[in-house]
Amino acid sequence: MSDIYIHPTAEVSSKASIGDGTKIWNQAQVREGAIVGEGCIISKNVYIDENVSIGSHVKIQNNVNVYHGVTVEDDVFLGPSMTFTNDMFPRAFNNEWRVSETVVKKGASIGANATIRCGVTIGRYATVGCGSVVTKDVPEYALVVGNPAHQIGWVCECGFKLNDGVCPECGKKYSMKGE
């Protein structure tokens, strides 16, 4: 292990794999079989379930649970207290979880306190506004907000909302259909 920081109060399984330069903060837990890439920030109170795969340069803010069945690709931002689920038909008296797979694609951002229903895919560089409840797939580069979340525009790779297909921040141009 080189250049990895694990806070003394974090609980990281010896059967988890942690990439170089990743920092794991207070009271975070990383379960057995989990794979966390390079240069990630795993903040306070984050839970990474068994066999979950997290890409590189991912930022996970405080109080996020990444449950079994969720896959997080490179460069993803998970805002504070956002919530994943993993069973579409939960009952306390069922013995087994029936996990539906959820994928957060490269570069996507999920705002604070958003909820992502299991079984959906969040497209590359999409942004989910804070407090949104996502119940269906989010197209790449889409900006979605509300409950249930609906698309209100497109975002640049740099994160800013496009104005007629042009990023007001970095000037990058896009040709998007279906806005």
Contact footprint for Zn ion (CB under 5 A):
156, 158, 167, 169-170, 172
| Least Cβ distance, residue 157 to Zn ion (angstroms) | 6
Q: Compare residues 28 and 167 and give the one whose CB is closer to Zn ion.
A: 167
CB 113 within 8 A of CB 133: no
Distance (Å, whole) CA 144 – CA 133: 9
Count Cα atoms within 13 angstroms, Cβ side, for 115. 8
8, with CB counted inside 10 A (0-12, 13-18, 19+), is exposed
Distance CA 95, CA 7 (A): 35
Given a contact cutoff of 8 angstroms between Cβ atoms, the answer to whether 54 and 73 are in contact is no
CB nearer to Zn ion: pick between 114 and 167: 167
With vertex at residue 47, the alpha carbon angle to CA 44 and CA 53, rounded to the nearest 5 degrees, is 120
CB of 162 to Zn ion, least distance (A): 8
Q: Which C-beta is closer to Zn ion: that of 150 or that of 172? A: 172
Q: Output 3 or 169, the one with its CB closest to Zn ion.
A: 169
Residue 172 Cβ vs Zn ion, minimum distance, rounded to whole Å: 5
**12 vs 108, beta carbon nearer Zn ion:** 108
CB of 44 to Zn ion, least distance (A): 30
Rounded CA-CA distance 151/89 in Å is 26
CB of 154 to Zn ion, least distance (A): 11
